């Protein structure tokens, strides 16, 4: 049993209820100054107040069977100093159904949090209760529920293992429900929901800042010690080592100083905020803002007036330019009419001259035809006379070696042979010696000639392209020299000397061989109108797929830039060496379409290409081309793959003069 105070709702003073004697074993275990929440309080009859002079038997009453054992015990006396209760009073006997102990905290009004922390660090914090306190408030809504101990002298202090720089603290999720008692004690009802423990530096801000200043001085010493370690003596070196290193406890000190410094607001930010809250400064700021607005408004108005005057002068100049342009336009229109009339007259005169020349040519042709007919009749007469003379002299039979004139005239032209693999490899070696290109570059040009348009750039690029075309197709190869008059594909087809139309017909009739076409000097004219047409028509099958295009681009002279959209059709290769003068590679036979080398060849090509950074589309395309490379010791598949990879790099950087060195041969030709 224990003596407790009954706290009722609406009591204006603390400890105003009458003392009662409560029978409950749990309350006895809590001790004096403990606080409980009880239910089912029931008044017991036959309660007899006892005094200390009258001895009472052990079983004198049913209400207090243990009264004899607690008689005269000081631990069951009320703490009248704590609760302000009178020393004597009428006692009642009651019983309770349930009793649950309440948590007790310490949060005084007459002490600051810094004082509480200082007394805890010194081990002399006095809390006016004989029961253990569950929580101590060390900051606003920040509590310590562990890390402190009650000493035998009833003073509280920190545990030896609790560091002031990293003490465990908790907070409540919401404002707790409590009953505040005298001398700073608070009783929580219900038990508060504490947050997870957070380690916190409970030193004052001044102490942390002083520690930060000491760390700065130590940092300077450490830096100077590192710089002049060779000149310092042993003692100074040891001092610098001590200042330049940090221990475990000092780490907490340094971390606390850094945390505090990081939370301090900037002085430049705080001053405007403080000035904005001051009424006098608000008036001065408002006056300054109005003055600045007036000044800016006047400055803007003057600037607008100046700009308006400038625009007016510019408008007058533009009006004069428009009048001059209109006069020039009228003069140009008048000249156009004069030129049109003159051109019509010249056209009429030329038409008349052409008709007169055609009539003269017709007359000459008719006269020539008449003379030819007469000569033919005379020749026929002479032939009959000779035949009659021969038939009269002899009637010998014709010889078996007599050749029919008709069969000789109508015999089909001889067909050129098909070059074998060794012939192709030998021709590539001869082309490499003559053109300055490597065998792998020549093989890549042949492979790529049926896919897109490889372009040779250099001083002898046109001659090298013509040699490659002749070595592959012989006399059936087409060699077209581009110029500003070749604007469209029809212009190139009408060029009989170039032989483009003949090459297309040969490619259609001989689909088993490569028919080369050399497009020399594509930058000498606007190739943007016909080169994409050739590539796309071959891709979709309008032109034969065995047409092999090899182009060249010059390095000087009058040239036309190639747009970015056309550059993706090209594969530029620079001719590094000069072509040997007068050297022409012989024609060993038509080159057949290069065939697939089988799965082993494809696996080798895939292994070479996957070793580098290539995309999936180029991997499939490059594998097909590499599988058609002829097998020979003079030609390595890895070298051909390296040349094909240069085409992928060109495709990614085409059109940007700063990303590829060969772009300068196709764009910005005048700079």
Same domain, 444 and 560: yes
Same domain, 121 and 93: no
Residue 425 lies in a domain: yes
Asked if residue 452 has a cis previous peptide bond (ω within 30° of 0), the answer is no
Residue 529 lies in a domain: yes
**Selected residue with higher pLDDT from 648 and 527:** 527
Residue 373 lies in a domain: no
Tell whether the model's pLDDT for residue 195 goes beyond 50: yes
Q: Give me the mean pLDDT over the 659-670 stretch.
A: 77
Tell whether the model's pLDDT for residue 324 goes beyond 80: yes
584, 466 contact by CB (below 8 A): no
Here the tokens at position 261 are 């410094």
Tell whether the model's pLDDT for residue 415 goes beyond 70: no
Domains in the chain: how many in total?
A: 4
Q: Give me the mean pLDDT over the 196-210 stretch.
A: 83
User: In this predicted structure, what is the pLDDT of residue 580?
Assistant: 56
Closest among 240, 172, 250 to 211, alpha carbons compared: 250
User: In this predicted structure, what is the pLDDT of residue 537?
Assistant: 93
Q: What is the mean pLDDT of the chain?
A: 78
Give the model confidence (pLDDT) of 622-642 as tens digits. Answer: 888 888 888 777 788 888 888
Tell me what percent of the residues of the chain surpass a pLDDT of 70: 78
Which of the residue ranges 75-79, 283-287, 644-648 would you say has the lowest mean pLDDT? 75-79
Same domain, 9 and 157: no
Give the model confidence (pLDDT) of 95-127 as tens digits. Answer: 778 888 888 899 888 888 888 888 888 888 888
479, 466 contact by CB (below 8 A): yes
Residue 85 lies in a domain: yes
Q: Whole domain around residue 471: which residue ranges?
A: 418-594+629-665
Which of the residue ranges 113-122, 270-279, 283-292, 464-473 would you say has the lowest mean pLDDT? 270-279
User: In this predicted structure, what is the pLDDT of residue 382?
Assistant: 80
Helix (H, G, I), strand (E, B) or coil at 583: coil
User: In this predicted structure, what is the pLDDT of residue 11?
Assistant: 40
Same domain, 524 and 552: yes
How far apart CA 227 and CA 570 sit, in angstroms, is 61
Tell whether the model's pLDDT for residue 23 goes beyond 90: no
110, 122 contact by CB (below 8 A): no
Same domain, 187 and 257: no
Same domain, 152 and 249: no
Give the model's confidence band at 584: pLDDT under 50 very low, under 70 low, under 90 confident, else very high: low
Here the tokens at position 463 are 């001659």
The residue out of 264, 293, 313 marking a domain boundary is 264
Same domain, 424 and 557: yes
The residue out of 224, 243, 264 marking a domain boundary is 264
Q: Give me the mean pLDDT over the 301-307 stretch.
A: 94
Same domain, 586 and 455: yes
Tell whether the model's pLDDT for residue 14 goes beyond 70: no
Tell whether the model's pLDDT for residue 325 goes beyond 90: yes
User: In this predicted structure, what is the pLDDT of residue 436?
Assistant: 82
Same domain, 95 and 175: no
Q: Give me the mean pLDDT over the 64-92 stretch.
A: 42
Give the model's confidence band at 91: pLDDT under 50 very low, under 70 low, under 90 confident, else very high: low
How far apart CA 422 and CA 428 sit, in angstroms, is 10
Q: Which residues contact 138 (CB under 8 A, 6 or more apart)?
A: 113, 116, 117, 120, 144, 167, 169, 202
Give the model's confidence band at 210: pLDDT under 50 very low, under 70 low, under 90 confident, else very high: confident
Same domain, 475 and 578: yes
Q: Give me the mean pLDDT over the 377-402 stretch.
A: 66
Q: Give me the mean pLDDT over the 13-32 stretch.
A: 49
Tell whether the model's pLDDT for residue 405 goes beyond 50: no
Is the pTM above the cut of 0.75? Answer: no
The residue out of 264, 279, 296 marking a domain boundary is 264
Give the model's confidence band at 292: pLDDT under 50 very low, under 70 low, under 90 confident, else very high: very high
Residue with tokens 């000097």: 521
Closest among 445, 435, 426, 526 to 482, alpha carbons compared: 526
Closest among 562, 527, 523 to 655, alpha carbons compared: 562
User: In this predicted structure, what is the pLDDT of residue 236?
Assistant: 67
Residue 92 lies in a domain: yes
- Helix, strand, coil: what percent of the chain each, to 5? 50, 15, 35
Q: Which of 42-46, 84-88, 134-138, 261-265 has the highest mean pLDDT?
A: 134-138
Give the model confidence (pLDDT) of 424-440 as tens digits. Answer: 888 888 888 888 888 99
Residue 479 lies in a domain: yes
Same domain, 82 and 220: no
Same domain, 430 and 572: yes
**Phi (first) and psi of residue 218, to 5 degrees:** -65, -35
Tell whether the model's pLDDT for residue 410 goes beyond 50: no
Three-class secondary structure assignment of 137-204: EEECCEEECCCEEECCCCEEEECCCCECCEEEEECECCCCCEEECHHHEEEECCCCCECCCEEECCCC
Residue 43 lies in a domain: yes
User: In this predicted structure, what is the pLDDT of residue 393?
Assistant: 59
**Selected residue with higher pLDDT from 578 and 230:** 578
User: In this predicted structure, what is the pLDDT of residue 579?
Assistant: 56
Residue 318 lies in a domain: no
């Amino acid at each position: 049993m224990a003596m407790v105070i009954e706290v009722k709702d609406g009591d204006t003073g603390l400890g105003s209820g009458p003392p009662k004697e409560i029978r409950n074993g749990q309350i006895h275990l809590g001790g004096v100054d403990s606080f409980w929440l009880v239910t089912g309080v029931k008044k017991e009859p036959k309660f007899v107040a006892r005094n200390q002079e009258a001895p009472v038997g052990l079983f004198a009453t049913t209400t207090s069977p243990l009264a004899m054992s607690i008689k005269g015990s000081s631990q069951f006396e009320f703490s009248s100093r704590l609760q302000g209760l009178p020393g004597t009073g009428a006692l009642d006997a009651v019983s309770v159904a349930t009793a649950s102990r309440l948590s007790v905290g310490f949060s005084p009004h007459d002490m600051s949090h810094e004082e509480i922390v200082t007394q805890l660090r010194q081990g002399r914090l006095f809390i006016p209760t004989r029961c253990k306190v569950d929580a101590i408030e060390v900051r606003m809504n920040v509590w310590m529920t562990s890390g402190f101990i009650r000493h035998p002298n009833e003073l509280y202090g920190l545990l030896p293992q609790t560091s002031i720089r990293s003490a465990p603290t908790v907070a409540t999720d919401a404002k707790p429900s409590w009953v505040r008692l005298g001398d700073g004690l608070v009783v929580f009802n219900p038990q508060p929901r504490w947050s997870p423990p957070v380690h916190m530096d409970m030193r004052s801000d001044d102490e942390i800042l002083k520690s930060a200043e000491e760390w700065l001085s130590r940092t300077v010493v450490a830096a100077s010690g590192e710089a002049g370690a060779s000149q310092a003596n042993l003692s100074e070196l040891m001092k610098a080592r001590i200042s330049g290193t940090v221990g475990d406890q000092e780490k907490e000190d340094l971390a606390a100083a850094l945390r505090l410094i990081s939370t301090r607001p900037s002085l430049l930010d705080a001053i405007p905020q403080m000035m904005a809250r001051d009424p006098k400064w608000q008036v001065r700021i408002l006056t300054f803002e109005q003055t600045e607005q007036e000044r800016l408004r006047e400055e803007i108005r003057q600037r607008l007036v100046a700009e308006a005057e400038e625009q007016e002068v510019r408008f007058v100049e533009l009006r004069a330019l428009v009048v001059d342009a209109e006069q020039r336009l009228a003069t140009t229109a008048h000249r156009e009419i004069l030129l049109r009339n003159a051109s019509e007259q010249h056209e009429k005169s030329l038409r008349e001259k052409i008709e007169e020349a055609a009539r003269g040519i017709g007359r000459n042709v008719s006269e020539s035809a008449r003379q030819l007919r007469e000569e033919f009749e005379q020749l026929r007469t002479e032939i009959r006379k000779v035949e009659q003379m021969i038939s009269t002299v002899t009637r010998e039979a014709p010889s078996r070696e007599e050749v029919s004139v008709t069969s000789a005239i109508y015999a089909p032209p001889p067909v050129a042979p098909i070059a074998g693999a060794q012939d192709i490899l030998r021709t590539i070696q001869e082309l490499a010696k003559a053109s300055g290109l490597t065998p792998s570059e020549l093989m890549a040009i042949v492979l790529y000639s049926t896919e897109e348009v490889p372009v040779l750039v250099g001083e002898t690029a046109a001659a090298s392209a013509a040699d490659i075309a002749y070595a592959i197709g012989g006399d059936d190869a087409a060699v077209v020299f581009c110029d500003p008059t070749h604007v469209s594909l029809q212009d190139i087809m009408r060029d009989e000397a170039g032989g483009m139309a003949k090459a297309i017909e040969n490619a259609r009739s001989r689909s088993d061989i490569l028919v080369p076409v050399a497009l020399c000097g594509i930058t000498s004219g606007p190739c943007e109108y016909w080169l994409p047409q050739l590539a796309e028509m071959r891709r979709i099958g309008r032109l034969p797929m065995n047409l092999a295009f090899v182009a060249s681009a010059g390095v000087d002279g009058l040239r036309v830039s190639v747009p970015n959209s056309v550059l993706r059709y090209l594969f530029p290769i620079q001719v590094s060496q000069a072509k040997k003068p007068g050297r022409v590679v012989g024609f060993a036979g038509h080159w057949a379409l290069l065939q697939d080398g089988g799965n082993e060849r494809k696996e080798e090509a895939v292994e070479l290409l996957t070793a580098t950074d290539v995309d999936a589309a180029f991997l499939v395309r490059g594998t097909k081309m590499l599988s058609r490379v002829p097998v020979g010791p003079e030609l390595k598949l890895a070298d051909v793959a390296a040349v094909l990879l240069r085409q992928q790099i060109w495709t990614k950087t085409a059109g940007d003069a700063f990303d590829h060195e060969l772009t300068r041969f196709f764009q910005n030709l005048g700079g």
